[in-house]
Amino acid sequence: MSTLTLISQNQCFGGWHRRFRHHSDSVNGDMTFAVFLPPGCQPETPMPVLYWLSGLTCTDENFMQKAGAMRTAAELGLVLVAPDTSPRGSDVADDADYDLGQGAGFYLNATQAPWSQHYRMFDYVTEELPALIESQFPVTNLRSVSGHSMGGHGALVCGLKQPERYRSISAFSPISHPRQCPWGEKAFRHYLGDDQDSWKEWDSTELMSRASITLPTLVDQGLADEFLQQQLQPQHLQQAADMRGYPLTLRQHPGYDHSYYFIASFIEEHLRFHYQHLMA
């Protein structure tokens, strides 16, 4: 099991926010993640975990610093874990644009060179990181997953591809149909190649339309989001849910944009949604 190196720690709402670095076999390099341990989180009182996946250009720090989630997590007894959004380092393939490469891992397993050497974020966030968290911290094996934008895409894909690993899914402003939007088309072509049939395995709309196991799923979307029509396209996700009878709740909010102001406005409701299903 990987050795953890503590980067920083801060007491918050009676618990602890800590950042760690460790070697990841999945991405063949070092990864960073943050964890919030609520007060009373001890080996004799382990707590369930919500994994948060952040969006393009973000790191583990955005959610922990901006979302305002720790007050409610401390109240509920809910551990928060936020990994970085991609592998990083001088030997890791990158691109000059913000929507590809470091900071833009898209939570998939790349199959194309040079990306396939490091970009296996799906394996990292669904298998390696939970195994590490459950071996090193006083948590249960009850998990839920959430995220924003590219991370909302990631949360949906993780829960839809491996529903047995999670109790619930939520997302803010997810890239809902990535194989048919500019961000997704660019990332998928580089990471997965030109065979668009293979892209369907990483597209939440496609996965939801044929899901055999369902999970309670909550999605919030701001209607003043500048990326709504071209990049996010939540209507496709709703159509897939309607066709499949998938338990999706899609809430649309006039006036809200793509920022962390939107996330901070509704994060408490997401935490309580997940806690309800984690403790059911």
DSSP string spanning 157-218? HHHHH-GGG-S-EEEES----GGGSHHHHHHHHHHH-S-HHHHGGG-HHHHHHT-SS---EE
In 10 A of CB 199, how many CB atoms? 22
- Widest pairwise Cα distance in the chain: 51
d(C-alpha 59, C-alpha 32), whole Å? 9
The pTM for the full model equals 0.98
pLDDT value for 101 = 98
- What are the catalytic residues? 149, 225, 258
Residue type at position 154: G
d(C-alpha 185, C-alpha 179), whole Å? 5
pLDDT value for 1 = 63
Nearest to 90 by CA among 101, 106, 104: 101
C-alpha distances in angstroms, 71 versus 46, 77, 91? Answer: 18, 10, 38
- Chain-centre distance for alpha carbon 226: 21
C-alpha distances in angstroms, 139 versus 18, 48, 133, 256? Answer: 15, 6, 8, 34
> Are the C-beta atoms of 217 and 247 separated by less than 8 Å?
yes
d(C-alpha 141, C-alpha 209), whole Å? 28
> Are the C-beta atoms of 64 and 34 separated by less than 8 Å?
yes
Residue type at position 274: H
d(C-alpha 113, C-alpha 237), whole Å? 30
d(C-alpha 146, C-alpha 133), whole Å? 17
Domains of the chain: 5-278 (3.40.50.1820)
Instruction: Give ∠ CA 188-87-178 in degrees, rounded to 5.
Output: 20
Reading the block at residue 238, the tokens are 């709703």
**Low-confidence spans in the chain with pLDDT less than 50:** none
C-alpha distances in angstroms, 258 versus 70, 146, 231, 263, 280? Answer: 21, 16, 12, 8, 31
d(C-alpha 158, C-alpha 115), whole Å? 20
pLDDT value for 39 = 98
pLDDT value for 267 = 98
pLDDT value for 175 = 98
> Are the C-beta atoms of 195 and 202 separated by less than 8 Å?
no
